[in-house]
Chain A
Amino acid sequence: MIIKSDKSSFQSYLTDSSNYKGNAEKLFMPESIQELKELVIDCNRKKTKLTVSGNGTGLTGGRVPDNGFIISLEKFNEILNLDEKNKTVTVQPAVLLNDLQSFVEQKNLFYPPDPTERNSFIGGNIATNASGARTFKYGPTRDYVNKLKVLNPNGEILELDRNINDRSFKFLKNFNIKKPLTSKNASGFFCEENLHLIDLFIGSEGLLGIIIEAELKLIDLPKEVFSAVAFFDSENDALNFIEESKTLSFNNQSIIGARGLEFFDEHSLIFLSKDFPNIPNSAKAAVWFEQEIIRNEDEIFENWSFLLEKYKYSADSAWFASDPKDYEKFKDFRHSISWKVNEYIAQKNFKKVGTDVAVPDKDFHDFYFWCKKLVSDSNLHFVSYGHFGNSHLHLNMLPKSDAEYKTAKENYYLICKKTVELNGTISAEHGIGKLKREYFELMYSEEEILQMAKIKKHFDENLILNIGNIIDPRFYEMV
């Protein structure tokens, strides 16, 4: 086991991509499950707080410790087994999403979840129930986790298997919190009737145990993918285009079946224009979309063409992939906006205030323009984009001063409040971590958070694991 006690040697583990900073006494890098187990048992006995570290790509401070020890799982980075017949892959938690995807694709298999940050650890993806563009068609990480091996604070290893009925736990009998009316959610513990234990662990941000192994579900690799970026002279047209594409995609009678529908506003296009000079100057919005093609290619093209024309896309400047390189380029277009924005704020030393909210589909259109007006009226520079197929908005305010930062935070609060009023979720994919607890408390009542705190205590009675994520520690004193 590698142990680092000199803080300067593990400085990078004291933060994540949100730039939130924490503190810890030591960093442990176990090299075997046995070492990890002994460490956890020892810490549990001494009641030393442990924060598990993924690859630091999170945006909510989930891996950032407030104190105690850090456990980095980075040595557990092996793909253990690929079962081509049953289409499953067994991985250790520190396998990179990107590596997993490339590995299975070489075997003509496909792991559908595609969080934008491809250098994330799979373990982190599971802990936050991460999602991405393809969630529109395929759902979030949760839907692809068959089995989990989880190490408890008392050293016990739980083997959770979706195919084995683990649904009758007494302590879960009364667990009942409201569910947002959205197609995506990453805020707090998952709750449904007859809840399977594996689903409770997925998305619990490390509060209930340490993921040490996972069996993931794969599907056949779709060979032909139609991929495009369409530009519009009006945001309204782009939004209406997305709305109708969405409706058609879920209509079995329609040949249109997008697997992702993503929106970019004009400010996003300005950020991207240096790397993508083909973006037309007149564009006020762009939509990236993909559809897998199995048959009826011509008919699919014609249907998209009709729909695009209906919403007055710029036919002369739209991009359609005509080879694998174009396809990758469009994917980069979609992926690069978030890091372009991050690069900009890092250069200028600004702090970004970015939403991760989703609302019910029927409310999205009005909600988007409401948010935009709120931010424009307060004279803040902003960039908005997101997984609009899932009614999920990343509106990034880019304050230039402390006063503007304060305004941005106020706007952020108002946007979260509005989201909750609409039965939406304040975090659709990034999770709550330590940074969004305040807003999490807008979403759930004290009684509901106490239910979650109780479950946490059931698995971690000494409260050592990832304390500070999701639940404000003051709630633990109340149960």
Chain B
Amino acid sequence: MKIAVCVSHVPDTATKINIGSDGKTIDPNGVTYIVNPYDEFAIEEALKTKEKLGGEVVVISVGNDANKETLRKALAMGADSAVLLKDENQRDSFGIAKALAEEIKLQNAELVFFGKQSVDYDNSITGQLTAELLNYNSVSVVVNLNIDGNKITAEREIEGGKEVVETSLPVVITAQKGLNEPRYASLKGIMAAKKKTIEEKEAVAANLFVEVVEMKKPAPKQAGKILGSDSSAVSELVKLLREEAKVI
């Protein structure tokens, strides 16, 4: 079975983000990029599935040359091949889903993994949009997965509990933390990854429906106030909590 994993290359969650001069994009200068953390669960699940059921794992990403780093990491973890769908411009989730769906069709992959969301723009819809475009089943926010022949049993997180659903191949699964513990690369994996080539092609054109008009940073936190160091400050504190902060 051909298994596809769709991955995105995102700013490290610990990195400080600045907005670019156009006011609509992130300024990549000084930003460390990493594999989207949820995609690591997707890669791990694909590799585990391959180890159990056989098959081949292809990783796919939409973006520019920088995304190769993320693809290279997936190869080092054990993926068999990688495809970069090139587009220098920022796409909306639909544009990304469209490009991915075309490639998945070409790859003839019946089982597709995504992270449940990408931690850059947090739209959490690319997996489901891709499933829709492919006319595949889809289960999102999956924390446990079992594949038995054609039958898929997936446990997913829902508000206040868990839900177990059954569906069948072909399917798109979006991975949530807890699904597995992503492996680190092996030395053989790293050495093998260096020898593999990343297939590059233009991402298919897509009509974009969402335009970023403006990006803004949250207002900076206001400086704290010290009212005093003994009990005489309590009445002033209560007054300010009531009138200024309006929390009591």
Inter-chain CA distance A228–B188, complex, in Å, is 13
Q: Is A473 an interface residue when CB atoms closer than 8 A count as contact?
A: no
Q: Is A477 an interface residue when CB atoms closer than 8 A count as contact?
A: no
From A106, A320, A323, contact of B186 by CB (8 A)? A320
Q: Is A321 an interface residue when CB atoms closer than 8 A count as contact?
A: yes
Q: Is B72 an interface residue when CB atoms closer than 8 A count as contact?
A: yes
From A304, A324, A326, contact of B187 by CB (8 A)? A304
* Interface residues as binary, B115-153 with A (CB distance below 8 Å gives 1, 0 otherwise): 000000000000000000000000000000000000000
From A298, A302, A315, A322, contact of B184 by CB (8 A)? A322
Main secondary structure of the interface of B (DSSP, over half): helix
Q: Is B194 an interface residue when CB atoms closer than 8 A count as contact?
A: yes
Expressed in whole angstroms, the minimum distance between the Cβ of A191 and any Cβ of chain B is: 43
Inter-chain CA distance A324–B9, complex, in Å, is 13
Cβ of A298: which chain B residues have Cβ within 8 Å of it?
A: 191, 194
Expressed in whole angstroms, the minimum distance between the Cβ of B11 and any Cβ of chain A is: 11
Residues of B171-193 at the interface with A, using a CB-CB cut-off of 8 Å, are 181, 183-191, 193
Q: By the criterion CB–CB under 8 Å, are B190 and A320 in contact?
A: yes
Q: By the criterion CB–CB under 8 Å, are A315 and B191 in contact?
A: no
Segment of B30-38, B52-60, B101-109, B204-212 in the binding face: B30-38
Cβ of B35: which chain A residues have Cβ within 8 Å of it?
A: 323, 325
Q: Which residue of B lies closest to A106 (CB)?
A: B30
Inter-chain CA distance A225–B111, complex, in Å, is 35
Q: By the criterion CB–CB under 8 Å, are B30 and A322 in contact?
A: no
Q: Is A301 an interface residue when CB atoms closer than 8 A count as contact?
A: yes
Q: Is A8 an interface residue when CB atoms closer than 8 A count as contact?
A: no
Inter-chain CA distance A325–B182, complex, in Å, is 13
Inter-chain CA distance A422–B229, complex, in Å, is 56
Q: Which residue among A298, A319, A322 has the maximum number of chain B CB atoms within 10 Å of its CB?
A: A322
Cβ of A106: which chain B residues have Cβ within 8 Å of it?
A: 30
Q: Is B65 an interface residue when CB atoms closer than 8 A count as contact?
A: no
Inter-chain CA distance A326–B182, complex, in Å, is 11
Q: Is B73 an interface residue when CB atoms closer than 8 A count as contact?
A: yes
Q: By the criterion CB–CB under 8 Å, are A323 and B187 in contact?
A: no
Q: Is B47 an interface residue when CB atoms closer than 8 A count as contact?
A: no
Q: By the criterion CB–CB under 8 Å, are B186 and A316 in contact?
A: yes
Q: By the criterion CB–CB under 8 Å, are B187 and A320 in contact?
A: yes
Inter-chain CA distance A321–B72, complex, in Å, is 12
Inter-chain CA distance A451–B186, complex, in Å, is 54
List the count of A-B residue pairs having beta carbons below 8 Å apart: 59
Q: By the criterion CB–CB under 8 Å, are A301 and B191 in contact?
A: yes
Residues of A299-330 at the interface with B, using a CB-CB cut-off of 8 Å, are 301-302, 304-305, 308, 315-316, 318-326
Q: By the criterion CB–CB under 8 Å, are A322 and B72 in contact?
A: yes
Q: What is the size category of the interface that chain B forms with chain A?
A: 20 to 34
Q: By the criterion CB–CB under 8 Å, are A324 and B12 in contact?
A: yes
* Interface residues as binary, A260-280 with B (CB distance below 8 Å gives 1, 0 otherwise): 000000000000000001100
Q: By the criterion CB–CB under 8 Å, are B190 and A322 in contact?
A: yes
Q: Is B203 an interface residue when CB atoms closer than 8 A count as contact?
A: no
From B32, B181, B184, contact of A320 by CB (8 A)? B184
Cβ of A322: which chain B residues have Cβ within 8 Å of it?
A: 72-73, 76-77, 184-185, 189-190, 193
From B34, B188, B189, contact of A323 by CB (8 A)? B34
Q: Is B163 an interface residue when CB atoms closer than 8 A count as contact?
A: no
Cβ of B186: which chain A residues have Cβ within 8 Å of it?
A: 315-316, 318, 320
Expressed in whole angstroms, the minimum distance between the Cβ of A95 and any Cβ of chain B is: 20
From B34, B77, B184, B185, contact of A324 by CB (8 A)? B34
Cβ of A324: which chain B residues have Cβ within 8 Å of it?
A: 12, 32, 34
Q: Is B69 an interface residue when CB atoms closer than 8 A count as contact?
A: yes
Q: Which residue among B30, B69, B183, B186 has the maximum number of chain A CB atoms within 10 Å of its CB?
A: B186
Q: Which residue of A lies closest to B77 (CB)?
A: A322
Residues of A98-147 at the interface with B, using a CB-CB cut-off of 8 Å, are 106
Q: Which residue of B lies closest to A319 (CB)?
A: B184
Given A278-B181, A322-B77, decide whether A301 and B190 contact each other with a Cβ distance below 8 A: yes
Q: Which residue of A lies closest to B181 (CB)?
A: A277
Inter-chain CA distance A298–B195, complex, in Å, is 10
Q: By the criterion CB–CB under 8 Å, are A301 and B187 in contact?
A: yes
Expressed in whole angstroms, the minimum distance between the Cβ of B169 and any Cβ of chain A is: 29
Inter-chain CA distance A318–B186, complex, in Å, is 6
Inter-chain CA distance A280–B141, complex, in Å, is 28
Q: By the criterion CB–CB under 8 Å, are A323 and B73 in contact?
A: yes
Q: By the criterion CB–CB under 8 Å, are B184 and A278 in contact?
A: yes
Q: By the criterion CB–CB under 8 Å, are B183 and A318 in contact?
A: no
Inter-chain CA distance A278–B186, complex, in Å, is 13
Q: Which residue of A lies closest to B37 (CB)?
A: A325
Q: By the criterion CB–CB under 8 Å, are A315 and B34 in contact?
A: no
Cβ of A308: which chain B residues have Cβ within 8 Å of it?
A: 187
Inter-chain CA distance A106–B32, complex, in Å, is 12
Expressed in whole angstroms, the minimum distance between the Cβ of B196 and any Cβ of chain A is: 13
Cβ of B34: which chain A residues have Cβ within 8 Å of it?
A: 323-325
Cβ of A304: which chain B residues have Cβ within 8 Å of it?
A: 187
Cβ of B188: which chain A residues have Cβ within 8 Å of it?
A: 305, 315
Q: Which residue of A lies closest to B76 (CB)?
A: A322
Residues of B48-82 at the interface with A, using a CB-CB cut-off of 8 Å, are 69-70, 72-73, 76-77
* Interface residues as binary, B7-41 with A (CB distance below 8 Å gives 1, 0 otherwise): 00000100000000000000000101011000000
Q: By the criterion CB–CB under 8 Å, are A325 and B187 in contact?
A: no
Cβ of B187: which chain A residues have Cβ within 8 Å of it?
A: 228, 301, 304-305, 308, 315, 318, 320
Expressed in whole angstroms, the minimum distance between the Cβ of B212 and any Cβ of chain A is: 26
Cβ of B77: which chain A residues have Cβ within 8 Å of it?
A: 322
Inter-chain CA distance A301–B76, complex, in Å, is 13
Q: By the criterion CB–CB under 8 Å, are A320 and B30 in contact?
A: no
Q: Which residue among B73, B185, B193 has the maximum number of chain A CB atoms within 10 Å of its CB?
A: B185
Inter-chain CA distance A319–B183, complex, in Å, is 8
Expressed in whole angstroms, the minimum distance between the Cβ of A245 and any Cβ of chain B is: 14
Where the two chains meet, the residues of A that have a C-beta atom closer than 8 Å to any C-beta of B are 106, 228-229, 277-278, 297-298, 301-302, 304-305, 308, 315-316, 318-326
Known: A229-B184, A305-B187, A320-B185. 18 other contacts (CB 8 A): A106-B30, A278-B183, A298-B191, A305-B188, A305-B191, A315-B186, A315-B187, A318-B186, A319-B185, A320-B186, A320-B189, A322-B73, A322-B184, A322-B185, A323-B70, A323-B73, A324-B32, A325-B35
Q: Which 9 A-B pairs have the closest CB atoms?
A: A319-B184, A322-B185, A322-B76, A322-B73, A325-B34, A277-B181, A320-B185, A323-B73, A320-B187
In the complex, 27 of the A-B residue pairs with CB atoms within 8 angstroms, ordered by the A residue number, are A106-B30, A228-B187, A278-B181, A297-B194, A301-B187, A301-B190, A301-B191, A304-B187, A315-B187, A316-B186, A318-B184, A318-B187, A319-B185, A320-B184, A320-B185, A320-B190, A321-B184, A321-B185, A322-B72, A322-B77, A322-B185, A322-B190, A322-B193, A323-B73, A324-B32, A325-B34, A325-B35
